[in-house]
A and B are shown apart, each in its own frame.
Chain A
Amino acid sequence: MAKLLVIAEHRDGKLSEATLELCRIAKEVAPGLGLEPAAAVFAKDDALAKEVANYIPVVFSVADAAVEGYTADGYAQAVKAVVESQDVKGVLVPHTYDGVDYAAKAAMAIDAGIVSNCNKAEVEGGKLVLTRNIFNGKIQEKKSIKTDKFVVSFEKGAYDPAEAGAAGAVTAVSVSFGPIRTKVKEVIETATGGVDISQARIIVAGGRGLKDGDKFKEVVLPLAQKLGGEYGGSRPVIDSGWIEASRQIGQSGKTVTPDLYLAVGISGAVQHVAGMKGSKCIVAINKDPEAPIFNIATYGIVGDLFEVLPAFSAKL
């Protein structure tokens, strides 16, 4: 039977959570598409392939020094080789930093259409229908793929990870790699030093809605102090240099799970939510009633944060 193939993601010998999420998606939609769920692991040996086999029945292992570390050229070539030799129809890739780097290249290599950054996969009339966010999550769209082969990438955290089951079979696939044009020198920590906000019990986080760095400091910092908590920010706040990088919350920053997370002037982009959705109680204050942050908050106030926050602070 033709395969629906998950491409595993790993770093420092550890599988990513996104890999297991893809295994769940593959097992859910493969039967309706007349496909068999499978995965491919590209690594220096087959240790991780054996681990993935606990989550999906068929695993192809490309164990080669060329894919010991991630590169777009290495991964695109490995995807092409496995797709062509193992009767693969569809490829599932995580929409993570590495996934974004190679998914479209892999699609080009196998002449497949790609729908990226999806959050839902459904089978309708034997066809795969994908749902994804557009316009910053204010709108969603449904898409399908017309080509014989297809590539789909999924937002991290859109599905729960697959549960482990009976061990599947691992098959070695050898690939003759061509040139790899990029060279990884090292992986470095960028937000070193600074305060560790990940242990704070209360966090006041500000976003673009604070307008500028001075207002951020005027409004957010005293409130965090009064509540005995820490302050942090969403990506635009760090990009604009209003506060230091060690206080960034979200996919590219810290993951936090405080008892109280006060999100002020934060719209709630998926990348931000990934870093704070585990908080016990989330309060959102935003002037836009359609801001996605209200969909995950416990309490919300729709209004001007420059009016609401001073009032809130005074009542504490």
Chain B
Amino acid sequence: MKIVVCLKQVPDMESKFKIVDDKKVDESQIAFKINDFDNYAVEAALQLKEKLGGEVVIVSAGPDRAAKDIRQAFAMGADWGIHISDQAILDGDSFVVASALAKAIEGIGGVDLVMTGVQTEDLQAGVTGVMIADMLNMPHCTNVVKIDTADGKAFTLNRELEGGLNEVMELGGPAVLTVQSGINDPRYPTLPGIMKAKKKQLDVKSGADLGVNAASKTEFIKMFIPVADSMAEIIQGAPEEAAGKLVDKLKNEAKVI
């Protein structure tokens, strides 16, 4: 099987976020990592490769710093990758990024399955995978929590629904799956894996190399730190003191214990 995983490098969400000029996040205080959902997609792809043979190709659009996390996926076991490094594409919206990813996948050729996370932790849009499927004229399934295939061509999938329900559905490849967290237990790279990753092929491409001519369909206006409508009564003091006050409030004010 030839499996492509679309991966994005995102900030660690525990970082301290500071906004610059109402339009971007100050990156100097931020640590970057693989989007959590994409990490599950990498693991799911590696498991399919281990079962059925073939190769796992990473495709990622991101600035230079993204190469670190493409190599992280190589260290987990992915075979090679394409790094779309082009500021014009990174400045575009999900439609532009999906167009670039789709062109890269087309260029690889003979792809049996495209996998990606259900959404990115930073933009939380959940549209890129579905757009790629549409552009490549492939069927898709989102929020995938279970993958069954005997031959890498016919798939039985569990799609997560509200309240603990799963829809069990079938589709034929080539297809696009957007993977939900919890589908597997992503492996950590081993030391030999990390050594090998350094030598694996990573092609750097621009939008022009890929023939991307998409333009954004949406417009970013500004970003801001949300102001909450209400805020908890914050109980101050050292742990002992705060805990004592909390017990008192729960007993005598809220009357719930």
Contacts and interface: CB of A to CB of B under 8 A. Distances in A.
Given A113-B93, A143-B220, A182-B141, A138 B17 contact: yes
B234 A139 contact: no
B216 interface: yes
A145 B127 CA distance: 15
A298 B255 CA distance: 13
A260 interface: yes
Interface residues of A, number: 95
A227 B257 contact: yes
A14 interface: no
A289 B71 CA distance: 34
A39 interface: no
Interface residues of B, number: 80
Interface string B221-255: 11111101111111100011011101101100010
Contacts of B121: 135-136
Contact of B235 (A116, A280, A281, A299): A299
B13 A103 contact: no
B48 interface: no
A136 B228 CA distance: 15
Interface stretch (A24-32, A57-65, A84-92, A126-134): A126-134
B167 interface: yes
Given A101-B142, A181-B171, A299-B249, A187 B17 contact: no
Contacts of A138: 13, 17, 225
A303 B239 contact: yes
A301 interface: yes
Interface in A95-116: 95-98, 100-105, 107-109, 112-116
Interface string A175-186: 000000111111
A91 to B, nearest CB: 14
A72 interface: yes
Interface string A49-72: 000000000000000000000001
Contacts of B27: none
Interface stretch (A40-48, A163-171, A188-196, A210-218): A188-196
Given A183-B171, A253-B163, A139 B225 contact: yes
Interface string A227-271: 100000001101111000110100111110001100000010000
B156 interface: yes
A259 B256 contact: yes
B60 interface: no
- Kindly name the residue among B25, B134, B162 whose own CB sees the greatest number of chain A CB atoms within 10 A: B162
Nearest to B216: A146
Given A100-B118, A132-B124, A146-B216, A303 B242 contact: yes
Interface in B106-135: 118-119, 121-128, 130-131, 133-135
B218 A144 contact: yes
Given A190-B166, A260-B256, A311-B240, A116 B127 contact: yes
Given A113-B95, A138-B225, A187-B168, A288 B233 contact: no
Given A312-B243, A316-B257, A112 B140 contact: no
Interface of B: 11, 13-14, 17, 19, 25, 93-95, 118-119, 121-128, 130-131, 133-135, 139-143, 145, 156, 158-172, 181-182, 185, 216-226, 228-235, 239-240, 242-244, 246-247, 249-250, 254, 256-257
Interface of A: 11, 72-73, 95-98, 100-105, 107-109, 112-117, 129, 132-147, 181-191, 202, 227, 235-236, 238-241, 245-246, 248, 251-255, 259-260, 267, 280-284, 288, 292, 294-304, 307-309, 311-312, 314-316
